[in-house]
């Protein structure tokens, strides 16, 4: 089932209940510009209700008190449901936010399931309890669930982002209020169905779409113990300031302006083939996309020919069609924002290529664009555009390339393409970013991801992904009792 139409219930306490407010969210297709669904917009009273359900679930419910293996069993069942409903998930995300359907199947659907599987696989290896003995004492170190989590997720990868938060939170024993973006609430409705079918106890996950003001109310709610947020750096800065006033635990996964360094000995065909996904994934609407492409002045022209030829093979159009590789922007506002950056690029750099194809008459599409001879301080080199717009920046030598890559307020991701992978690793060590891929090789879901500088606080995925959802407690033991925990 793909959710469309009008809905009048919120998922709170394991049930579909009537909202206490009257506000509605209209879900608009970015492909047709038509309203495809309406869902309730949560009010402060609805947030109170959801937080109370999560609080009961944590303080009095069975979930935090189950053995880890029992929680893993529920997540395994959820993984099976993700497999069974893979096509529904992909179609749902494509309908609500415009991700090309072929990518939706791999990234939005399979990717979310693989995250669940990775966390289930890693959970027994996490140090939930360890004994540390020394001449100064015997410390039983516990990692216990942090409590009630407010998880605020973006529209560009709704279920993938949800699961990178929910899976470790749930395995740790936490309860959650999930706040999906107003642009993409329908996939969260589908998730609620699957969570119920997987056997999650009532109150463990509650789902309430809401506007920014009510989302802020959720983050500051006195019965919330932890906030995890993925979104823009500006919103993250505001949320961080609020959480700082409360000394509230916070994880931030924010924006990026990631650089791909192309060395002169790199295989250009391989590099541009990888950039098809590494720079333009989800029509450019991914924070880890490599949108600053650094190539030497000596070979910029040659590289631009290869990059332009590759982009010319990426059809723009209806994201529901399998052949489409670049779909619409998620909203009219986002289309206007991206077009504004294209106008700025025309004023401060050289337009190297713009897709000559006629854009669809309906839908929030933009023209895929490459700019060349981009200055390192140019607006299009410094600010996150979040669309299919690439800035090619020429460099003098390796040190210059690294300096340009690091000349950013962001530090989320990056790439090095080189004929000498060992040298690539040495370059990667010098790039100030949380993840670096050598010749297009990803780190996988067993490795942590996250940002330096204004790209965030904390890490997600990997064993480190559990750290955000636990509090560490040390208990001093008598020597004779310590042997029991050795």
Shared-domain flag, residues 22 and 148: yes
Whole-number pLDDT of residue 1? 62
Whole-number pLDDT of residue 6? 80
Q: Is residue 480 part of a domain?
A: no
Contact between 278 and 440 (Cβ < 8 Å): yes
Nearest to 176 by CA among 230, 246, 227: 227
Shared-domain flag, residues 34 and 103: yes
Whole-number pLDDT of residue 7? 87
Q: Is residue 272 part of a domain?
A: yes
Shared-domain flag, residues 401 and 466: no
Shared-domain flag, residues 206 and 68: yes
**Residue 243 among the catalytic residues:** no
Shared-domain flag, residues 183 and 262: no
Shared-domain flag, residues 354 and 387: yes
Shared-domain flag, residues 71 and 129: yes
Number of domains comprising the chain: 2
- What is the value of pTM for the model shown? 0.96
Q: What's the CATH code of the domain at 278?
A: 3.40.309.10
HEC states along the chain? CCCCEECCCEEECCEEECCCCCCEEEEECCCCCCEEEEEECCCHHHHHHHHHHHHHHHHCCCHHHCCHHHHHHHHHHHHHHHHHCHHHHHHHHHHHHCCCHHHHHHHHHHHHHHHHHHHHHHHHHCCCEEEEEECCEEEEEEEEECCEEEEECCCCCHHHHHHHHHHHHHHHCCEEEEECCCCCCHHHHHHHHHHHHHCCCCCCEEECCCCHHHHHHHHCCCCCCEEEEECCHHHHHHHHHHHHHHCCEEEEECCCCEEEEECCCCCHHHHHHHHHHHCCHHHHCCCCCEEEEEEECCCHHHHHHHHHHHHCCCCECCCCCCCCCECCCCCHHHHHHHHHHHHHHHHHCEEEEECCCCCCCCCCCCCCEEEECCCCCCHHHHCCCCCCEEEEEEECCHHHHHHHHHCCCEECCEEEECCCHHHHHHHHHHCCCCCCEECCECCCCCCCECCEECCEECCECCHHHHHHHEEEEEEECCHHHHHHHC
Catalytic residue among 96, 253, 437, 460: 253
Whole-number pLDDT of residue 155? 97
Q: Is residue 479 part of a domain?
A: no
Q: What's the CATH code of the domain at 101?
A: 3.40.605.10
Shared-domain flag, residues 422 and 465: no
Q: Is residue 483 part of a domain?
A: no
Q: pLDDT tens per residue, the chain (486 residues)?
A: 676 778 899 999 999 999 998 999 999 999 999 999 999 999 999 999 999 999 999 999 999 999 999 999 999 999 999 999 999 999 999 999 999 999 999 999 999 999 999 999 999 999 999 999 999 999 999 999 999 999 999 999 999 999 999 999 999 999 999 999 999 999 999 999 999 999 999 999 999 999 999 999 999 999 999 999 999 999 999 999 999 999 999 999 999 999 999 999 999 999 999 999 999 999 999 999 999 999 999 999 999 999 999 999 999 999 999 999 999 999 999 999 999 999 999 999 999 999 998 999 999 999 999 999 999 999 999 999 999 999 999 999 999 999 999 999 999 999 999 999 999 999 999 999 999 999 999 999 999 999 999 999 999 999 999 999 999 999 999 999 998 988
Enclosing domain of residue 32: 5-254+455-474
Q: Is residue 72 part of a domain?
A: yes
Whole-number pLDDT of residue 321? 97
CA dihedral sign of residues 372, 378, 379, 383 = positive
Shared-domain flag, residues 155 and 268: no
Q: Is residue 481 part of a domain?
A: no
Shared-domain flag, residues 280 and 205: no
Catalytic residue among 99, 174, 287, 384: 287
Shared-domain flag, residues 208 and 339: no
Q: Is residue 311 part of a domain?
A: yes
- Helical axes 233-246 vs 212-219, angle rounded to 10°: 40
Residue 450 — φ and ψ, nearest 5°?
Answer: 160, 180
Shared-domain flag, residues 303 and 339: yes
**Residue 253 among the catalytic residues:** yes
Q: Is residue 346 part of a domain?
A: yes
């Amino acid at each position: 089932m793909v959710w469309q139409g009008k809905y009048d219930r919120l998922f709170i306490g394991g049930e579909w209940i009537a909202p206490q407010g009257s506000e509605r969210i209209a879900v608009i297709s970015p492909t047709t510009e038509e309203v495809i669904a309406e869902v309730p917009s949560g009010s402060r009273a609805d947030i109170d209700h959801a937080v109370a359900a999560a609080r009961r679930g944590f303080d009095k419910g069975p979930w935090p008190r189950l053995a880890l293996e029992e929680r893993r069993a529920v997540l395994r069942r959820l993984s099976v449901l993700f497999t069974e409903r893979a096509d529904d998930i992909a179609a749902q995300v494509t309908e609500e936010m415009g991700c090309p359907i072929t990518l939706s199947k791999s990234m939005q659907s399979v990717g979310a399931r693989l995250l669940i599987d990775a966390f289930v696989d890693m959970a027994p290896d996490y140090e939930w309890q360890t004994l540390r003995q020394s001449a100064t004492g015997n410390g039983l170190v516990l990692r216990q669930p942090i409590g009630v989590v407010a998880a605020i997720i973006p529209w560009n990868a709704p279920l993938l982002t949800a699961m990178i938060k929910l899976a470790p939170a749930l395995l740790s024993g936490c309860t959650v209020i999930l706040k999906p973006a107003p642009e993409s609430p329908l996939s969260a409705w589908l998730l609620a169905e699957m969570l119920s079918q997987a056997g999650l106890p009532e109150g463990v996950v509650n789902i309430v779409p809401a506007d920014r003001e009510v989302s802020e109310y959720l983050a500051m709610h006195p019965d919330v113990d932890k906030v995890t947020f993925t979104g823009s750096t500006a919103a993250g800065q505001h949320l961080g300031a609020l959480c700082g006033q409360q000394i509230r635990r916070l994880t931030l996964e924010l924006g990026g302006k990631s650089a791909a360094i192309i060395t002169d000995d790199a295989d250009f065909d391989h590099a541009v083939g990888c950039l098809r996904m590494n720079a333009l994934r989800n029509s450019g609407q991914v924070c880890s996309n490599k949108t600053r492409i650094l190539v030497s002045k000596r070979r910029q022209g040659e590289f631009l020919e290869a990059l332009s030829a590759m982009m010319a093979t990426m059809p723009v159009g209806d994201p529901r069609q399998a052949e489409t590789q670049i779909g619409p922007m998620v909203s009219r506002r986002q289309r206007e924002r991206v077009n504004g950056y294209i106008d700025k690029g025309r004023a401060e750099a050289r337009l190297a290529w713009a897709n000559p194809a006629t854009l669809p008459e309906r839908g929030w599409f933009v023209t895929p664009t490459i700019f060349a001879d981009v200055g390192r301080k140019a607006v299009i080199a410094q600010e996150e555009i979040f669309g299919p717009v690439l800035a090619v920046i020429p460099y003098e030598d390796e040190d210059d390339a690294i300096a340009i890559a690091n000349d950013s307020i962001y530090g989320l991701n990056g790439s090095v393409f080189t004929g000498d992978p060992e040298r690539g690793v040495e370059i990667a060590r010098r790039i100030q970013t949380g993840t670096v891929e050598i010749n297009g090789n990803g780190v996988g879901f067993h490795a942590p991801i996250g940002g330096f500088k204004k790209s965030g606080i904390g890490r997600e995925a990997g064993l480190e992904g559990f750290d955000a959802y636990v509090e560490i407690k040390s208990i001093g033991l008598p020597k004779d009792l310590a042997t029991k925990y050795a």
